[in-house]
Amino acid sequence: MCYNLILFRTRLSRLRSPEQEGFSLKRTMLMPSAVRFFFLACLFLAAAPAAAEFQLPQNITRLPAPQLSASESLHFPVYPLILPNVEFWEKIYGVYSENQGVLHDRRDLRLIYGVIRLMPKDTFGAGKINEKLTEVARLHVKAMLNKFAEGGRPQTAEELRIHSLFQQKSPAAFLAAAENMRVQTGLKNRFRDGVIRSGAYMPTIKRILRTLDLPLELAYLPHVESSFNPKAHSKAGAVGLWQFTRYTGKEFMIVNELVDERYDLYVASEAAARFLKENHRQLGAWPLALTAYNHGRGGMLRAKAQWGSYPVIFANHSSQTFGFASRNFYPEFIAALRVARKLEADPALIKERPLISASLRLKGYAAAAELRQYFGVSEEEFRRLNPALMKPVLEGKKHIPIETVIHLPATHFVRERIRSMPQSLLRASQIADYVPPSPRPKPPPTKKATADSAKPQVYVVRKGDSALSVARKFGLTLDELRRANQMDRKAEMRIGQKLIIPPAKGGAASRPAKRKP
């Protein structure tokens, strides 16, 4: 029924918007959850942009970008080859919202087929509904491309528009494009929120970059990595503002079950700066160094050895690991730099105040609760200022390790307390791991118990028993059971019959054998 409804609606020349369907949505709230999900899926798929009705890409060839500084043009060149990709990501960061999916070609980002209106993520069943919406739109465009590949001529306005996107109008080009589509969700709102959050971190990051004599434009890289969300987590296990994986993080920071400095703004920012500096030292150019931040230094060294410069790598390099994300990482960075600077110039956008804290390197082990009490810091604020401290430390199961840098409010009171901090707050060793006590050994059997166990036992035959199963149950052979009960060769038994179970050869009565797992 749902499928037929979709087919019917895609034949209509005009589709109603979800707002026009509002009266139906109110009634669905009274339905059971499973029925409500099915109804919503049918309803929104019926209004999906599956035919010629999903939105056209906005008619923007490029966003107005700030004038490039001498440093930016020198260190971060925008090659003509990557300009379409830069402009694509400018639209993703600055034009399209999270409720819009851009259907485009995976390799040639100039080929934008349309923009799909997605359901908000907080809508019931939005994930599955949006999957169907994108799949229907993808199949619709694929049918047109296959039609062109078979020699069909464009007839509708939409077909003419998509046909005109291709400079090379060969069957091979259309067939390749039909299998090479991708949907990119817009990030406009998320990016703007990231620019607001960046106000808290930018001064510290730029100070670290100046200290290491690195281009200040690198401070904008977290826009691509985490949108300046210090709690960001990726599916690959990368965390924090700079999205270090556990493996790479251990090269530069402490990463264990007690302290994970990937979450620490100061330590992680310095680690990222040193990592980028080493990338640049080995690769010799910032486009290659930045791509290596995503793809890995080893992979980029191999690509450079094979192809040489960044533009040639961008145009020709292909491997199982150098895919869409790696190829577009440097264009994304340039786009993020442009869009962020444009937003920063907007007087209506108010960024967060810079994060300022007083830091203290511990010269011994310390209990988090005692430090909070001494410095007059609430548990909530202590956690916020010290995101690198893990649960066992915060809950008091372990001390904060020696040489850990903790962050405290930058008040006069706290600074005075740091200067006069007593040694009694520090410990010489860590809390030992809890080792459960070993079970007490069982006492040896008494003489009476040994004598009793040497007596034969009696077993009453039950339904389903056989002589062999009874023998195995008590660890006997079939012959031993037969001899003890004067049974014939067939060893026949009847329900209720009492069998004598002889004692084991060692003197103890036989016990039911434990089954192997």
pLDDT digits (tens, 9 = 90+) for 279-314: 999 999 999 999 999 999 999 999 999 999 999 999
CA–CA separation, 286 and 283 (whole Å) = 8
Return the axis-axis angle of helices 188-198 and 324-344, rounded to nearest 10°: 60
Q: What is the largest CA-CA distance in the chain?
A: 106
pLDDT for res 504: 60
Number of neighbours of residue 479 by Cβ within 10 angstroms: 11
Residue-wise pLDDT for 212-256, tens only, equals 999 999 999 999 999 999 999 998 899 999 999 999 999 999 999
State the amino acid at position 445 in one-letter form.
P
pLDDT value, residue 343 = 97
Q: What is the DSSP letter of 410?
A: -
| Locus of tokens 């109603």 | 16
CB count in 10 Å sphere of residue 148: 22
pTM above 0.75, yes or no: no
**Tokens linked to 264:** 């620490």
**pLDDT for 348:** 95
For residue range 171-228, what is the model confidence (pLDDT) as tens digits? 999 999 999 999 999 999 999 999 999 999 999 999 999 999 999 999 999 999 999 9
pLDDT along the chain (517 residues), means of 10: 36 31 36 47 43 44 44 83 97 97 96 96 92 96 96 95 94 96 97 97 97 97 96 91 94 95 96 97 98 96 96 94 95 98 96 95 96 96 96 96 96 96 94 78 62 73 85 84 80 84 62 47
pLDDT of residue 19: 34
For residue 53, give the nearest of 125, 116, 119 by alpha carbon: 116
Residue 64: per-residue pLDDT: 44
DSSP 486: T
